[in-house]
Amino acid sequence: MFVPVAQQYHQAFVQIPNLRHCLPAFNPKQPMLSWGHLLFSDDSALATQSAVHYVIVRDPYDWVLARARFFLSDTFQGQMDHLKGGRVSIEEMLNMMIFGIYQKAPTLNEIYTHNSIAWLGTGIKLVRFEDVIKHLKILNTPAAERYFTDLLQPVLKDGVLPDDWRKRLEVGSDRKQSGTYRENLVGLTSELPDELPDIQKRLVEYAAPGLRHMLGYY
């Protein structure tokens, strides 16, 4: 909501398999706003050399639940149909999200390692999903203005938020526009807890020791 549509790269959701076709998005002579799931690699490091690069992460505890909801819904189209409709317990599904599914889904550790941890220390700006949500809930406070001014510096004219910045954020964060927001998932019949059970929290720490600490979750 802070970058004109004409300066946004809509041709594709940028990922490693299509990265070479998406290189125009990173042309420093004509900078564009793009987004995707960009694994850390030689190609992605070279492609983003001149880009302002945000890496957005979510608390692994909540990510496990969100991933399970998505995979168990009909919104997700892939190799998970055999797990839907209560064919496995919720606890079994959560463990699969943590440890992966052989030849079908990578582990939590693999996803976080290549999508976030490996980018640390390279000049990227790490953004925690929870911090964004926290400040969206207090938009009318000086703390929110300071947070979003810092967050959006690269796309702000003269480094100053426009007068309608709160309205832009409200429109851009509208959950009704998200296909993966839990209430918008199609065909989700399994009821998952709002908080990851204690045993699965311990399994996350076993599967990816130090991960949450590295990302600033304490």
For the chain, give the longest Cα–Cα distance. 55
Q: Please state the φ and ψ torsions of residue 15, each to the nearest 5 degrees.
A: -145, 170
User: Amino acid letter at 165?
Assistant: W
Output the DSSP codes for the chain.
--S-GGGB--S--EEGGGGGGGGGGG-TTS--B--EE---SHHHHHHTTTS--EEEE--HHHHHHHHHHHHHSTT--STTGGGTTTTS-HHHHHHHHHH-BTTTB--HHHHHHHHTGGGTTTT-EEEEHHHHHHHHTTTTSHHHHHHHHHHTGGGSGGG---TTHHHHHHHHT-GGG-TTSGGG-SS--S---SS--HHHHHHHHHHSTTHHHHTT--
- Give the residue extent of every domain in the chain: 60-106+178-214
Q: What is the pLDDT along the chain (218 residues), one digit of tens a residue?
A: 888 899 999 999 999 999 999 999 999 999 899 999 999 999 999 999 999 999 999 999 999 999 999 888 878 777 777 887 778 899 999 999 999 999 899 999 999 999 999 999 999 999 999 999 999 999 999 999 999 999 999 888 888 999 999 999 999 998 887 767 767 677 777 789 999 999 999 999 999 999 999 999 98
User: Can you give the pLDDT at residue 179?
Assistant: 67
Yes or no: say if 205 and 99 are a contact pair by the CB < 8 Å rule. Answer: no
User: Can you give the pLDDT at residue 75?
Assistant: 80
User: Amino acid letter at 6?
Assistant: A
Dihedral sign from CA coordinates of 174, 145, 6, 128: negative
Burial zone of 44 (CB within 10 Å; 0-12 exposed, 13-18 middle, 19+ buried): buried
Tokens of 31: 């900078």
User: Can you give the pLDDT at residue 188?
Assistant: 74
User: Can you give the pLDDT at residue 184?
Assistant: 63
